[in-house]
Amino acid sequence: MESFRDIDASHVDSAYVKSELDSRGYVLIRQFLPFEDIENLLRQIVQILSDEGWLLPNQHPMVRAANPKAACGESDPAFKRVYEKVFNLEAFHSFAHHPKLREVMRLLVGPKLLVHPKPIGRLIFPNCDRFVIHAHQDHLAVGGDTDCFTAWLPLHDCPAELGPLQVLEGSHHFGLQDADPDTGVISRDNARGREWVSGAINAGDALIFHGLTVHSASPNTSSQLRISMDCRFQDYSHVSNPANFVFPGSNDRSWESTYAHWLSEDLKYFWKHLPLKFKPSIDELTTLVNTADSERMRVRYNRILSQIKLQMPLDVISEVDQVSLSSRLALPQNRPGHERL
Ligand SMILES: O=C(O)CCC(=O)C(=O)O
């Protein structure tokens, strides 16, 4: 496989980033984020994993030596319980707002930058095929604006054996590609684009790609956990998916539980005053609660709608949606005491 084309952070400028994203669908910026900031987050994550028995006890947690007996992945209840602890870390969220990331993302999306509020942490056990994320396009799951960008950020050096990402160059030029309707996986044989590229991605490097760029993880064949973040960014005046602001998959997670141990108020509900435009809109969501094809999706839409009501202040929602939400949910437009929700 060909190697990534990359650039050192000191040479990055707006024209380069835009033209690489335009022509290749990705840009790999080397030595972009300061090591101390990455290490601070990694330390907090590995402490959780060590306390949970995911790491071998006879080695330093920062080595991330995986305990094979604890191996689990995203769909396992054991994973979800530990992941929630990681997700609740204040540093996990502030990392997505790192000034360097904001700066480069503004080059791509302009001044109206929306940092998606739910970054994803990847905690990938080694030598487990079922945990490898296969080829897909983020837009299928993320929804909203196609011009949404992902920054993939390993929290330690990630040579080939730790399973860094691979990218299909130029694949973002072909719209949404044929994918398995249940899993969103695109067969590598049929994927449209130029050629697959890959290579080591190290702590501090940022791999940034477009929402339609086909990409895939490579298998982690090492003996260590691979720990990385993926954070998403878009223009807030473009449509965004309301599911990205709430917790549609679970009944007991909320922003209040996420924020319970945070020291600073700065990033809580940071999107609160942004004039977001939802797609599906509140009206569409209200219809989907009754008309979506499957019971699973009807329940999901219902959760999104009710969590928006509970968790988001009405001034977040665009004019049209406010009227619709307040009449349907019988809420006053300016609810006293709602500012902190
Ligand atoms: O880190 C991984 O294994 C997958 C990440 C990914 O697919 C993404 O960032 O969209």
* Nearest one of 221, 87, 91, 233 to 158, comparing CA atoms: 221
Say how far apart CA 278 and CA 283 lie, in whole Å.
Answer: 10
**Distance from the alpha carbon of residue 59 to the mean position of ligand 1, in angstroms:** 27
Q: Whose CA is nearest to atom 1 of ligand 1?
A: 122
Residues 148 and 48 in one domain: yes
> Nearest-CA neighbor of 217 among 120, 152, 155, 151?
152
Choose among 204, 162, 156: nearest CA to 60: 156
Domain match, 28 and 153 both: yes
**Same-domain check for residues 265 and 230:** no
Q: Atom 8 (ligand 1): residue with closest C-alpha?
A: 230
Cβ of 217 less than 6 Å from ligand 1: yes
- For residue 315, the model assigns a pLDDT of 56
Q: 122 with 170, same domain?
A: yes
Q: Is there an atom of ligand 1 within 6 Å of 133 CB? A: yes
72 token code pair: 């689990």
Q: What is the mean pLDDT of residues 194-219?
A: 98
Q: Are 258 and 269 in contact (CB under 8 A)?
A: no
pLDDT value at 258 more than 80: yes
Query: Nearest CA to 32 among 63, 51, 53, 11?
Result: 11
Q: From ligand 1's centre to the CA of 125, what distance in Å?
A: 14
Give me the pLDDT at residue 273, please.
Answer: 79
Instruction: Please tell me whether residues 162 and 254 are part of one structural domain.
Output: no
| Whether pLDDT at 312 is above 80 | no
The model scores a pTM over 0.75: yes
Claim to verify: residue 153 and residue 208 sit in the same structural domain: yes
Please check whether residues 122 and 12 belong to one and the same domain: yes
- Lowest-confidence region among 112-116, 224-228, 238-242, 321-325: 321-325
Rounded distance between C-alpha atoms, residue 22 and residue 255, angstroms? 35
Is the CB of 222 inside a 6 Å radius of any atom of ligand 1? no
Tell me the average pLDDT across 181-193: 96
Rounded mean pLDDT, 209-228: 98
- Please confirm whether the linkage preceding 77 is cis (ω < 30° from 0): no
Are 32 and 163 contained in the same domain? Answer: yes
Ligand 1: centre distance to CA 154 (Å): 10
156 lines ligand 1 (CB under 6 A): no
Q: Look at ligand 1, atom 3, and give the residue with the nearest C-alpha.
A: 217
Alpha carbon distance 337, 54 (integer Å): 42
Percent of the chain surpassing pLDDT 90: 84
Check if 150 has its Cβ closer than 6 Å to any atom of ligand 1.
Answer: yes
Best residue for ligand 1 mutational test, from 28, 118, 120 (most atoms within 8 Å of Cβ): 120
Mean pLDDT of 97-120: 97
pLDDT tens digits along 66-93:
999 999 999 999 999 999 999 999 999 9
| Structural domain of 82 | 2-236
Angle at 60 between CA 87 and CA 262, to 5 degrees: 25
CATH number of the domain where residue 199 is located: 2.60.120.620
Residue 265 pLDDT exceeds 50: yes
For the CA of 122, the closest atom of ligand 1 is 1
Element (H, E) at 45: helix 35-51
Instruction: Calculate mean pLDDT across residues 201-228.
Output: 98
Check whether residue 250 and residue 228 sit in a common domain: no
The token pair at 292 is 């979506």
Q: Name the CA dihedral angle for 91, 92, 96, 97, rounded to a multiple of 10 degrees.
A: -20
Same domain, 119 and 201: yes
Q: Quick one: which H or E segment has residue 217? A: strand 215-217
Number of domains in the chain: 2
Put the strands of the sheet holding 165-168 in their side by side order: 2-3, 196-198, 165-168, 215-217
Which comes out higher in pLDDT, residue 3 or 316? 3
Residues 245, 169, single domain; the answer is no
Sequence-separated (6 or more) residues with CB below 8 Å from residue 41: 89, 91, 92, 95, 155, 229
Q: How far apart are CA 189 and CA 3, in angstroms?
A: 20
Q: What is the pLDDT of residue 310?
A: 78
Ligand 1 site, residue 226, Cβ cutoff 6 A: no
Question: Rounded to whole angstroms, how far apart are CA atoms 117 and 271?
Answer: 8
- Domain boundary residue among 207, 236, 265? 236
Predicted local distance difference test score (pLDDT) of residue 317: 59
* 137-149 per-position pLDDT tens digit: 999 999 999 999 9
Between the CA of residue 59 and those of 70, 168, 341, what are the distances in Å?
A: 16, 37, 42
Sequence-ordered list of residues with C-beta below 8 angstroms from that of 73, at least 6 positions apart, any chain: 79, 124, 125, 128, 130, 131
Task: Give the pair of three-digit tokens for residue 34.
Answer: 């300061």
| Final residue before a domain boundary, out of 192, 211, 236 | 236
Q: Are residues 188 and 259 in the same domain?
A: no
More confident residue, 157 or 314: 157
Q: Which amino acid is at 336?
A: P
Answer yes or no: is the C-beta of 138 below 6 A from any ligand 1 atom. yes
End residue of a domain, out of 190, 221, 236: 236
Mean pLDDT of all residues belonging to the chain: 91
Instruction: Give residue 309 CA to ligand 1 midpoint distance, Å.
Output: 30
Gap between the Cα atoms of 227 and 231, Å rounded? 14
Residue 272's pLDDT is 78
Output the residue whose Cα is nearest ligand 1's atom 2: 217
pLDDT bracket for residue 257 (50, 70, 90): very high
- CA 121, CA 246: separation in Å to the nearest integer? 17
